Amino acid sequence: MRVQITENFYLDEFTCKDQSDIPLNVFMNILKLAVEMQKIRNYFQRSITVNSGYRSPSYNKEIGGASKSQHLLGMACDFTVSGYTSFEVADIVEDLMQSEFITNGGLGEYDTFTHYDIRTKPARWNNTTK
């Protein structure tokens, strides 16, 4: 049974791909992240595909994730928006953060997806080839 956590998102979209258990503090962070992602979804009025949400420490290491990744805390989401490039999404998410529509946390630009996280201090990076 899928557990719906916002209007358009389900818990399994944010869980680790290795099917590991979710610690309680991580679960609470996922709920907060999903609320922010729902705001992004509402703005775009398009489907969002979550490529990566929570990552267990072992899975994060396996895929070469950053050792202090917000994914380890359940506070980060790598995603795509139907009909938009990752560059367009990143620009719009930046605007949404600056207007305080969503939490002004981390924003990473990649060629094929956008990273957004709800850390307490703003962080920006560009990991694209353009």
Burial per residue of 62-99, b for 16 or more beta-carbon CB atoms within 10 angstroms, e otherwise: eeebeeebbbbbbbbbbbbbeebebeebbebbbebbee
Length in residues, the chain: 130
- Bridge partner list, 7: none
Q: What is the pLDDT of residue 112?
A: 97
DSSP summary character for residue 10:
B
SS3 23: coil
Domain ranges of the chain: 11-127
Q: What is the pLDDT of residue 1?
A: 85
Residue range 11-127 in CATH 3.30.1380.10: yes
**CA distance linking residue 54 with residue 34, whole number of Å:** 11
Full pLDDT tens readout for the chain, 130 residues: 899 999 999 999 999 999 999 999 999 999 999 999 999 999 999 999 999 999 999 999 999 999 999 999 999 999 999 999 999 999 999 999 999 999 999 999 999 999 999 999 999 999 999 7
Q: What global pTM score does this model have?
A: 0.95
Helices (H), 1-130: 24-44, 57-62, 86-98
SS3 35: helix
